[in-house]
């Protein structure tokens, strides 16, 4: 049995990013896709993804949805994890950094308020 959206959220709460891996081409991803988006194989399995990676692209959200008013401003980034999977997350410890591309980030927490990564200490410049 593969995990569903709620399983993904529960796993985040337990401190793990559980995504998927294709048993044939070994592509990894996090969204709920039942066939491998690269080779089309249905032979996929749950896979714990890396908890760190680098920012590919980002935005800094100034105007935010109602439920996130208190957290603004924060960044949203698409991150390439060390195992190659791409994932979107919120980053809150901006520390005045204006360009996040290439910054090394690490999994912070996750759950019903989404997925949060933080910029690694030695990248906070």
Partner 1 sequence: MKKVYVAGVGMTNFGKSNKLGRELALEASIMAINDAGIKPREIEATYVSNAFGIAENQVHVGPLINSSLGIPEVPSLTIESACSGSSAAFHEAYVALSSGIHKVALVVGYEKLSMNPTSENTRYFAMASDYWFEGLNGVTFPGLYALMATAHMKKYGTTEEMLGSVSIKNHRNGYYNPKAHFRKMIDMETYLNSPVVAYPLKLYDSCPFSDGASALILVNEDFNERKSERVQVLSSVRSGSMAALQDRNDFTGIPGAKIAAEKAFRNSKLSPSDISLAEVHDCFTIAEIMAIEDIGFFKKGEGGKAELEGLTQYDGKIPINTSGGLKAKGHPVSATGIAQILEIYEQMLYRVDKNRQVSKPEIGLAHNVGATGGSVSITILKRVR
Report if residue 65 touches partner 1, rule: CB under 8 A.
yes
CB 83 within 8 A of CB 49: yes
User: Quick count: other Cβ atoms within 10 Å of Cβ 62?
Assistant: 8
What is the strand order of the sheet 18-22 is part of? Answer: 28-29, 18-22, 44-48
Which of 76, 83, 97, 109 is close enough to bind partner 1 by CB under 8 A?
76
Which of 13, 23, 68, 82 is close enough to bind partner 1 by CB under 8 A?
68
- Binding-site size for partner 1 (CB under 8 A) equals 39
CB 79 within 8 A of CB 49: no
List of residues contacting partner 1 (CB under 8 A) = 5, 8-9, 29-33, 37, 56-69, 71, 74, 76-78, 86-90, 101, 112-116
């Amino acid at each position: 049995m593969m995990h569903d959206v709620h399983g993904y959220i529960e796993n985040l709460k337990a401190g793990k990013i559980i995504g998927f891996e294709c048993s044939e081409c070994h592509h990894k991803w996090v969204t709920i896709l039942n066939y491998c988006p690269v080779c089309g194989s249905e032979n996929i399995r749950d896979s714990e993804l890396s908890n760190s990676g680098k920012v590919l692209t980002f935005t800094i959200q100034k105007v935010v949805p109602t439920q996130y008013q208190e957290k603004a401003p924060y960044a949203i980034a698409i991150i390439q994890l060390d195992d190659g999977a791409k994932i979107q997350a919120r980053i809150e410890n901006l520390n005045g950094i204006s360009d996040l591309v290439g910054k090394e980030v690490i999994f912070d927490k996750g759950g019903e308020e989404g997925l949060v990564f933080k910029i690694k200490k030695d990248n906070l410049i």
